[in-house]
Amino acid sequence: MIRKAVFAACLLVAPLSLSGCGFTPVYAQKGLAATLAGIDFNVTESRTGYFVRQNLVSGFDSAAAATKPYRLDVKLVENRYDIGVGVNDTATRSEISNSVTYQLVDVQTRKVLTEGSFVDTTTYDASNKSPYGSVISQKDGQQRAATSISERLRNDITLYFHGKATAASAN
Protein backbone atom coordinates (compact mmCIF):
# COMPACT_ATOMS: atom_id res chain seq x y z
CA MET A 1 0.00 0.00 0.00
CA ILE A 2 2.84 2.40 0.85
CA ARG A 3 4.61 1.56 -2.41
CA LYS A 4 1.49 2.52 -4.38
CA ALA A 5 1.24 5.83 -2.52
CA VAL A 6 4.91 6.63 -3.17
CA PHE A 7 4.51 5.71 -6.84
CA ALA A 8 1.42 7.94 -7.16
CA ALA A 9 3.26 10.83 -5.49
CA CYS A 10 6.18 10.42 -7.92
CA LEU A 11 3.82 10.52 -10.87
CA LEU A 12 2.29 13.75 -9.60
CA VAL A 13 5.65 15.42 -8.91
CA ALA A 14 7.37 14.39 -12.20
CA PRO A 15 5.68 17.03 -14.44
CA LEU A 16 6.45 19.75 -11.89
CA SER A 17 10.14 18.89 -11.98
CA LEU A 18 10.26 19.70 -15.72
CA SER A 19 8.83 23.18 -15.28
CA GLY A 20 12.14 24.74 -14.23
CA CYS A 21 14.46 22.99 -16.69
CA GLY A 22 13.66 25.13 -19.73
CA PHE A 23 12.03 22.29 -21.67
CA THR A 24 9.59 23.62 -24.26
CA PRO A 25 7.67 21.20 -26.46
CA VAL A 26 7.79 22.00 -30.18
CA TYR A 27 4.00 22.12 -30.46
CA ALA A 28 3.80 24.78 -27.72
CA GLN A 29 5.90 27.33 -29.60
CA LYS A 30 3.79 30.21 -30.87
CA GLY A 31 4.20 31.12 -34.54
CA LEU A 32 6.07 27.96 -35.51
CA ALA A 33 3.25 26.67 -37.73
CA ALA A 34 3.11 29.99 -39.63
CA THR A 35 6.88 29.96 -40.09
CA LEU A 36 6.79 26.41 -41.43
CA ALA A 37 3.91 27.29 -43.77
CA GLY A 38 6.18 29.95 -45.30
CA ILE A 39 8.49 27.40 -46.95
CA ASP A 40 8.49 26.79 -50.69
CA PHE A 41 9.81 23.45 -51.90
CA ASN A 42 12.17 22.70 -54.77
CA VAL A 43 12.50 18.91 -55.06
CA THR A 44 14.23 16.78 -57.71
CA GLU A 45 11.77 15.85 -60.46
CA SER A 46 11.07 12.14 -60.21
CA ARG A 47 8.23 9.97 -59.00
CA THR A 48 9.72 9.79 -55.50
CA GLY A 49 10.46 13.54 -55.63
CA TYR A 50 6.83 14.22 -56.49
CA PHE A 51 5.66 12.18 -53.49
CA VAL A 52 8.19 13.93 -51.21
CA ARG A 53 7.00 17.37 -52.33
CA GLN A 54 3.33 16.44 -51.82
CA ASN A 55 4.07 15.13 -48.32
CA LEU A 56 6.03 18.28 -47.41
CA VAL A 57 3.34 20.66 -48.71
CA SER A 58 0.63 18.87 -46.72
CA GLY A 59 2.85 18.35 -43.65
CA PHE A 60 3.86 22.02 -43.40
CA ASP A 61 0.45 23.28 -44.61
CA SER A 62 2.51 25.24 -47.12
CA ALA A 63 -0.29 25.70 -49.63
CA ALA A 64 -2.04 28.10 -47.21
CA ALA A 65 0.71 30.74 -46.99
CA ALA A 66 0.79 33.46 -49.65
CA THR A 67 4.35 34.70 -49.16
CA LYS A 68 7.21 32.25 -48.92
CA PRO A 69 10.25 33.76 -47.18
CA TYR A 70 12.07 30.39 -47.20
CA ARG A 71 12.89 27.76 -49.80
CA LEU A 72 13.82 24.16 -49.12
CA ASP A 73 15.97 22.72 -51.91
CA VAL A 74 15.92 18.92 -51.85
CA LYS A 75 18.08 16.81 -54.14
CA LEU A 76 17.34 13.09 -54.44
CA VAL A 77 19.64 10.58 -56.11
CA GLU A 78 17.73 7.32 -56.37
CA ASN A 79 19.25 3.90 -57.04
CA ARG A 80 17.48 0.55 -57.30
CA TYR A 81 19.10 -2.79 -56.57
CA ASP A 82 17.92 -6.39 -56.77
CA ILE A 83 18.67 -7.93 -53.38
CA GLY A 84 16.69 -11.18 -53.49
CA VAL A 85 17.18 -13.68 -56.29
CA GLY A 86 14.96 -16.70 -56.82
CA VAL A 87 15.89 -20.17 -58.05
CA ASN A 88 15.23 -19.14 -61.68
CA ASP A 89 17.73 -16.25 -61.30
CA THR A 90 15.10 -13.47 -61.26
CA ALA A 91 14.73 -10.78 -58.63
CA THR A 92 12.26 -11.46 -55.83
CA ARG A 93 13.09 -8.42 -53.69
CA SER A 94 14.38 -4.97 -54.63
CA GLU A 95 15.78 -2.03 -52.72
CA ILE A 96 15.41 1.69 -53.35
CA SER A 97 18.24 3.76 -51.91
CA ASN A 98 17.87 7.56 -51.92
CA SER A 99 20.76 9.89 -51.18
CA VAL A 100 19.12 13.07 -49.95
CA THR A 101 20.78 16.48 -49.60
CA TYR A 102 18.87 19.57 -48.57
CA GLN A 103 19.36 23.28 -47.93
CA LEU A 104 16.98 25.70 -46.26
CA VAL A 105 17.51 29.10 -47.91
CA ASP A 106 16.30 32.56 -46.88
CA VAL A 107 14.80 33.78 -50.17
CA GLN A 108 15.48 37.46 -49.51
CA THR A 109 19.15 37.20 -48.51
CA ARG A 110 19.89 33.89 -50.32
CA LYS A 111 21.69 32.77 -47.19
CA VAL A 112 21.73 29.04 -46.44
CA LEU A 113 20.18 28.72 -42.97
CA THR A 114 20.69 24.99 -42.48
CA GLU A 115 21.67 22.03 -44.61
CA GLY A 116 22.12 18.32 -44.28
CA SER A 117 22.27 14.98 -45.99
CA PHE A 118 21.19 11.44 -45.27
CA VAL A 119 20.46 8.14 -46.99
CA ASP A 120 17.08 6.43 -46.92
CA THR A 121 16.63 2.79 -47.93
CA THR A 122 13.34 1.01 -48.61
CA THR A 123 12.70 -2.50 -49.90
CA TYR A 124 9.79 -3.94 -51.86
CA ASP A 125 8.75 -7.24 -53.43
CA ALA A 126 9.66 -7.62 -57.08
CA SER A 127 7.01 -9.93 -58.48
CA ASN A 128 8.05 -11.72 -61.63
CA LYS A 129 4.60 -13.22 -62.08
CA SER A 130 2.88 -10.04 -63.19
CA PRO A 131 4.36 -6.90 -64.76
CA TYR A 132 1.48 -4.89 -63.27
CA GLY A 133 2.18 -6.27 -59.79
CA SER A 134 5.84 -5.35 -60.12
CA VAL A 135 5.02 -1.77 -61.14
CA ILE A 136 2.54 -1.37 -58.28
CA SER A 137 5.04 -2.83 -55.82
CA GLN A 138 7.74 -0.41 -56.99
CA LYS A 139 5.34 2.55 -56.72
CA ASP A 140 4.44 1.48 -53.18
CA GLY A 141 8.13 1.31 -52.31
CA GLN A 142 8.67 4.81 -53.70
CA GLN A 143 5.70 6.16 -51.73
CA ARG A 144 7.04 4.61 -48.51
CA ALA A 145 10.49 6.03 -49.25
CA ALA A 146 8.96 9.47 -49.87
CA THR A 147 7.04 9.30 -46.58
CA SER A 148 10.21 8.41 -44.69
CA ILE A 149 12.25 11.15 -46.41
CA SER A 150 9.61 13.84 -45.90
CA GLU A 151 9.21 12.94 -42.21
CA ARG A 152 12.97 13.25 -41.71
CA LEU A 153 13.04 16.60 -43.54
CA ARG A 154 10.04 17.87 -41.58
CA ASN A 155 11.68 16.90 -38.30
CA ASP A 156 15.03 18.50 -39.21
CA ILE A 157 13.47 21.79 -40.37
CA THR A 158 11.04 21.98 -37.46
CA LEU A 159 13.86 21.42 -34.98
CA TYR A 160 15.95 24.10 -36.72
CA PHE A 161 13.23 26.73 -36.30
CA HIS A 162 12.42 25.52 -32.78
CA GLY A 163 16.08 25.83 -31.76
CA LYS A 164 16.31 29.25 -33.39
CA ALA A 165 13.27 30.51 -31.46
CA THR A 166 14.47 28.95 -28.20
CA ALA A 167 17.87 30.64 -28.58
CA ALA A 168 16.19 33.99 -29.36
CA SER A 169 13.95 33.78 -26.29
CA ALA A 170 16.95 32.95 -24.08
CA ASN A 171 18.71 36.20 -25.06
Residue 50's pLDDT band (cuts 50, 70, 90): very high
pLDDT mean over 139-143: 91
Cβ density class 74-100: b for 16+ within 10 Å, e for less = bebebeeeeeeeeeeeebeebbbebeb
| 64 vs 158, more confident | 158
Higher pLDDT, 148 or 11: 148
- Least reliable range by pLDDT among 4-18, 58-72, 114-128: 4-18
Stretch 73-100: mean pLDDT, rounded? 84
Residues 105 and 73 sit within 8 Å (Cβ to Cβ):
yes
Position 71 confidence tier, pLDDT thresholds 50, 70, 90: very high
What predicted TM-score, i.e. pTM, was given to this entire model?
0.76
Using the predicted structure, report yes or no on whether residue 91 has a pLDDT greater than 80: no
pLDDT at residue 141 greater than cutoff 60: yes
30 or 122, greater pLDDT: 122
Identify the CATH class of 26-170.
alpha beta
Q: 134: pLDDT confidence band, cut at 50, 70 and 90?
A: confident
Selected residue with higher pLDDT from 76 and 170: 76
Whether 22 shows a pLDDT value over 70: the answer reads no
